[in-house]
Amino acid sequence: MTLRLGDTVPDFTQDSTEGNINFHEWIGDSWAILFSHPKDFTPVCTTELGTVAKLKGEFDKRNIKAIALSVDGVESHKGWVGDIEETQNTTLNYPIIADEDRKVSDLYGMIHPNSATGNTLTVRSVFIIDPNKKLRLTLTYPASTGRNFDEILRVVDSLQLTDNYSVATPANWKDGDDVIIVPSVSDEAAKEKFPKGFNPVKPYLRLTPQPNK
């Protein structure tokens, strides 16, 4: 299945380290980050799972729930959790889905036959999903490169900001930086919408201070 940005993500019910999960119900009114792993007891993924656990405070501030997936079973996952907690000095505080039947991997297009992980293992993908269960971002990483969760948080900050204001975020934007007024807003409307003013670098490129700061 090919998922495109803006699609409603597939619902599923699957076992996990925190019991049976109905995905849409589990998301509820939150944002969600689903990130997949080719199998348990893999070194790069061990560091990633620990990093996400340590970021719980940042996720909570943004109303995000994290959930991982690997193709091994729950008992294997639980053994892996012990290693993650020991080596990463943290407590795992979110579920790992067991996808032994590859149901979720197939629904979300996580198996890429030509990838380095082979045609039976999930690639290392990230899905950012909003409270309406719409897909807002996908990223797929090679097996050798750990994911950048600071970038994933940055994207959520941008999405949550731009959902609520008529702005876009420029390259390398971080929370608190200036933003771009979208072209559909006229200069006259921009004067009302953005009382802090704006800098018209070009007629189509108008910078303004982040409106919610």
pLDDT band at 78 (very low <50, low <70, confident <90, very high): very high
| 3-class SS of residue 1 | coil
Residues 46 and 96 in one domain: yes
Q: Per-residue pLDDT for 122 more than 90?
A: no
- Establish if 159 belongs to a structural domain: no
Which tens digit of pLDDT belongs to each residue from 137-157?
999 998 889 999 999 999 999
Q: Per-residue pLDDT for 186 more than 60?
A: yes
Enter the tokens of residue 44: 């790069």
Q: Per-residue pLDDT for 120 more than 70?
A: no
Which tens digit of pLDDT belongs to each residue from 48-72?
999 999 999 999 999 999 999 999 9
- Establish if 103 belongs to a structural domain: yes
Residues 184 and 104 in one domain: no
- Establish if 5 belongs to a structural domain: no
Q: Using CA atoms, how far apart are residues 132 and 24, in angstroms rounded to an integer?
A: 9
68: domain CATH number is 3.40.30.10
Residues 83 and 187 in one domain: no
pLDDT band at 192 (very low <50, low <70, confident <90, very high): very high
Other beta carbons within 10 angstroms of residue 7's beta carbon come to 12
**Cβ-Cβ contacts under 8 Å for 171 (sequence gap 6 or more):** none
DSSP codes of every residue in 52-95 = HHHTHHHHHHTTEEEEEEESS-HHHHHHHHHHHHHHHTS---S-
Q: Per-residue pLDDT for 118 more than 80?
A: no
45 among known catalytic residues: yes
Residues 31 and 58 in one domain: yes
Residues 61 and 113 in one domain: yes
Interval 109-124 mean pLDDT: 64
Lowest mean per-residue pLDDT among 2-11, 112-121, 144-153, 188-197: 112-121
Interval 11-17 mean pLDDT: 98
**CB-CB contact of 88 with 51 (8 Å):** yes
pLDDT of residue 1: 59
Residues 114 and 204 in one domain: no
Number of domains in the chain: 2
* Phi, psi angles (nearest 5°) of residue 159: -60, -45
- Establish if 155 belongs to a structural domain: no
Q: Per-residue pLDDT for 199 more than 70?
A: yes
Pairing of β 31-37 and β 64-70: parallel
Q: Per-residue pLDDT for 116 more than 60?
A: no
**Cβ-Cβ contacts under 8 Å for 46 (sequence gap 6 or more):** 80, 83, 84, 87, 88
**Which residues span the domain enclosing 52?**
13-147
Q: Per-residue pLDDT for 19 more than 90?
A: yes
pLDDT of residue 173: 98
On average, the pLDDT of the chain sits at: 94
pLDDT of residue 121: 61
Q: Per-residue pLDDT for 212 more than 80?
A: yes
Of residues 45, 97, 123, 180, which has the active-site annotation?
Answer: 45
pLDDT of residue 112: 61
pTM of the model: 0.93
Residues 98 and 191 in one domain: no
